[in-house]
Structure 1
Amino acid sequence: MHLDVQDLRNFYYRSPLGRAAQVSLRARLRQIWPEAKGQTVAGFGFAIPLLRPYLADARRVIALMPGPQGVMPWPANAPNVSVLTEETLWPIETGHVDKLIMLHGLETSERAFDLLEEAWRVLGPGGKALFIVPNRAGLWSRRDRTPFGFGRPYSAGQLETQLRKHQFLPERHVGALYQFPSAKRVWMKSGPMFERVGRAMPGMFAGGAFMVEASKLVYPPKGKVARSKAKKQAIPQGVPAPIAGRV
């Protein structure tokens, strides 16, 4: 079950631990995808903490937020790029996305099979997807005070196997969130040190999340999903979304 958008916003933008998590995840993302100039970048779930670096140079940035989660207008004081969508029927034409980031989307979905098919559909030739999920061996998945303590945690092997079944080719995975999942002062102060050590020696201890980068294979998924032939929905530009506050 998806978390509520208000809880996700409060964690990432209003709590010290959430802001530290945002820094950790974004740093790893920029190592994998340093830029997206002239490309279409989409995020599904609650990916907005990671989308901001691409706003300036990307051709288009789209923040897709599933109905059960709710939506919030983003970014603040700029044209809105967020849209409320059905979990497995996105308002994007087939093959129009160059880069897709999924954060707090896959592990909380009750229709993961169909969700991965929709992710495959929107990616264009040569498109890349980055799936970010809780690490089942990490401490963050065991504490429900953070969003990483909800839904189904994965091992790297489990996620890669699932992606291959949907015609994604896993290319690399990296860990993140090596600091202790606590807002206590002693752990917050030592957080940057744990992050540096974890990135330098990932086998030393498990991170709270990992990221799997996968490319789209040319053959369509084996499953079949009934899709509506309704008229295409336009991606809102500058239209305020109906729920929650600004970030």
Structure 2
Amino acid sequence: MHDEVRTAAAFYASPAGERTVRLLGPHLTRRWPELTGQRLLGLGFAAPYLPLWDDSSALTVAARLKAAISSSESSIIHYPRECVVSGKGLPFDDLSFDRILMIHALETDHAEAGLLRAVWKILKDDGRLLLVIPNRRGLWAFSDTTPFGQGTPFSQGQIRLRLGQAMFHVEHSETGLYVPPFRKFGSGKIGQTIEKAGGTVLPAFGGVVIVEAVKNIWSGLPLLTAKSRIPARRRIFEAG
């Protein structure tokens, strides 16, 4: 797990990491063009992408998962408002954020179900989650020199299932990062051309899956008293 954070830090400090942010940035801002007056949390290793909304969001916080960070790295800050958190219990009040961006988080966290449920609690009821994860059918999942090659990749079907179990409803799903993880393909106009064409030509083989989801606050199951002649109020318990 420690290697995953070191890989991400080194990658985004390199020209290859900067090109990746430029290629993925348009996918993210198409979903969230601007976040005027909204509170944004970046969870995982999201700091390189948060400046996309710095000019509009009311508050932006970056949080790295403690399980993936060694003690020697815990004091290294990559963003002005960054903290280190535990995936099982995020140190934020319930309903704290309007938007949560998760990248390099779910695939590297062993307690993924607990992490998603913790995210569900701190996201406002009308909030939105944007999740970026390695696509198991894409080349980037096999590249050990990038953070997208660390942890466990997902298919679109698998991530929909995980989100459903955590009481999220997927509203949009797409792939991105069609440029192969090789230096000569990712630079300049070549990379931009491949990225624009990839969604039409080879959508299933993008390097990442990008999913936007909302809270499913109606996913409780009713328990009714059997053989009762008197109408009783439904009891609701949380599923998942």
Query: Which of the five TM-score ranges fits, normalised by the shorter chain?
Result: 0.7 to 0.9
Larger Rg: 2
Counterpart of 2:206 in structure 1: which amino acid?
Answer: G
SS, match of residue 211 in structure 1? strand
Give the structure-2-normalised TM-score. 0.84
Output aligned runs, 1:211-226, within 5 Å: 211-219=210-218, 222-223=239-240
Q: Which has the higher helix share?
A: 2
Contact 2:175 2:204 in 1 (8 A): no
SS, match of residue 98 in structure 1? strand
Contact 2:141 2:153 in 1 (8 A): yes
Q: Following TM superposition, where does structure 1 have runs of at least 4 consecutive aligned residues deviating by more than 6 angstroms?
A: none
Contact 1:2 1:108 in 2 (8 A): no
SS, match of residue 63 in structure 2? strand
2:28 corresponds in structure 1 to 29
2:108 corresponds in structure 1 to 108
> Structure 1 pair 217/113, CA: closer, same or farther in 2 (3 Å)?
same
Structure 2 residue 147 is the aligned partner of structure 1 residue 130: no
> Structure 1 pair 128/19, CA: closer, same or farther in 2 (3 Å)?
same
Counterpart of 1:206 in structure 2: which amino acid?
Answer: F
Give the structure-1-normalised TM-score. 0.81
How many residues matched? 216
Is there any run of 5+ residues in structure 1 with no aligned partner, and where?
224-247
Structure 2 residue 174 is the aligned partner of structure 1 residue 174: yes
Distance 1:96 1:123 in 2: 6
> Structure 1 pair 11/182, CA: closer, same or farther in 2 (3 Å)?
same
Distance 1:26 1:98 in 2: 19
Contact 1:3 1:147 in 2 (8 A): no
Is there any run of 5+ residues in structure 2 with no aligned partner, and where?
221-237
Q: CA RMSD in A?
A: 1.8
Contact 1:171 1:213 in 2 (8 A): yes
Q: Which has the higher contact order (CA 8 A, sep 6+)?
A: 1
Distance 2:45 2:51 in 1: 12
> Structure 1 pair 111/202, CA: closer, same or farther in 2 (3 Å)?
farther
Query: Shift in Å at residue 179 of structure 1?
Result: 0.5
Query: Shift in Å at residue 97 of structure 1?
Result: 0.7
Contact 1:134 1:208 in 2 (8 A): yes
Distance 2:3 2:101 in 1: 17
> Structure 1 pair 98/161, CA: closer, same or farther in 2 (3 Å)?
same
Query: Shift in Å at residue 57 of structure 1?
Result: 2.0
Output aligned runs, 1:82-101, within 5 Å: 82-101=82-101
